[in-house]
Structure 1
Amino acid sequence: MSIKPEDKIKVALVGNSDPRTSLQEVYDIKEILEKLGLDVILSPTLQENTLFNADKKAEIMNQYFADDSIGAIFDISGGDIANGVLDKLDYSLIRKQKKKFYGYSDLTTVLNSLISQSEQKVELFQVATLLWDSSGRQIDKFKTSFFNGSKDLYQTSWEFSQGSEIKGKVIGGNIRCFLKLAGTKYMPDLANKVLFLESHGGGKESLYSMFYQLKGVEGFDKIAGILLGTFTSYQKSYEQPIEEILQKILQDDDLPIAKTEEIGHSANSNALKLGDYIRISCNIG
């Protein structure tokens, strides 16, 4: 998506998961976007510290999707409770809209539900990284990608640990949050899909358990390949590459697997288009 500053298109900041602990951070993100020429509106639920406002959050999401003056919706929350809005979103309304929804981490549940229920193309991206990255590079990547149509925010390097090519429509996100969809109608069809996985928390045992649970999800045996992002806590504590653990659990030499250090929870994380087709090949020779 390319948003032109001169269009003065509105973008919305929402929070479908845990509320922002710092109101100042919300205003700082808003200020950055406004300096880039965007008209920013804030969801009134961003600072509501309650578990029981999923109805209100979903109503706001539905309103923002229906509002033709809003060009994009950025969720700046994360945590645990985003799946509370899933059965309250108006997927038939959302299906008719052509605006992008952006989020990461716990918003994996919403991102993949929008894919499965509304056939939306969404993006795994936290716009708060524009604030978190002190170098200013993240703002530059965002600006050139969203205003000029460049691919700066999407140019990601991948290293294959198994196979040499991955292609298909991408789904997934945070592994723990993706697994919340298991057994529900919101889980996307896995057949011929490329599954992206990353994690902020979780040690060796937790990830071992989640990989095994994932292996048992219906349709997992039909996926086209796996893309791995950063596994922040694990990579800080353990030397064994996370892809080795995954390969030992899956025992499938024919399944292509590739990893990047450029998508995950870091302050300079790239964006990944979900629900869209991707093709990645390793350079041989």
Structure 2
Amino acid sequence: MLKKITIFIFILFMAGAVAGLATAVGVYFYFARDLPRITSLRDYRPATITEIYADNGELIGQYYLEKRKIIPIEEIPDLLKKAFIASEDARFYEHQGLDFPGIMRALMKNIAAGKVVQGGSTITQQVTKSLLLSPERKLKRKIKEAILAYRIEKYLSKDEILFLYLNQIYLGHGAYGVEIASRTYFGKKTRDLNLAEMTLLAGLPKAPNRYSPIAHPDRAARRQRYVLGRMVAEGYITEAEAEAAAATPIHINTPPDPFTLTPYFTEHVRRYLEKKYGYDKLYRQGLQVYTSVN
């Protein structure tokens, strides 16, 4: 009798497993139809800034749809990459697009809190959401996002994915990507950032407006300490380095608006460029224009 029960339970288990697998395969092929082509990611050309300079090299004008300046992954400081990875996706170099342990941790924390306090999206999923899918919050989009994230991991290297993420991400006050965010908040290039500034930037993706160091410096400082703690936990920095960075004063140094320097001349140049090259090239292709004005 016991043997028959055991066999029956085993058959039920196998039937459930087969049914579950068949369902998963069916869901995959159903949602995999008509997905965006991930090959477009290798030809990443987002809208970038057209900059106009005086004859002495001073910036006197900017035109753009999205305020962004592309920076190669090799030029992004290693600690800045690690700061974003520690705070946004600690298992970035281990998972294949989906972090199942991270999803479960986020689910348990959200259940315990009775609200959404932590997301489970990986950096790869965020790239997928930003570049390939609409922002709708529906289950079918999440399934498509998961499928695409897995495909992207098979198609691109981790550095290529990180390059897309760090150049595409919105970091508040009109700044897209880490290079423009660095200039917007600190008036310097990413290569010149210290650890305190890097971790402040890395705290912004979760809520750029809420953690803005310009509008909410106290919240930004708390978020920065969280990022420093995550970097210590991941072994990227020591406790002493984290404490030193937390104690480092942050000087917000937003550059002045270049349009106030030569507004009429700059507008004349803008009209000339749009007439000669067209709207798309002027506002999307990041021209570098040097003039004779002084």
Q: TM-score, normalization: structure 1?
A: 0.24
- Which structure has the larger Rg over C-alpha atoms? 2
Considering fraction of residues, name the structure with more helix: 2
Whose relative contact order is higher, 1 or 2, with alpha carbons under 8 Å and at least 6 apart? Answer: 2
Considering fraction of residues, name the structure with more strand: 1
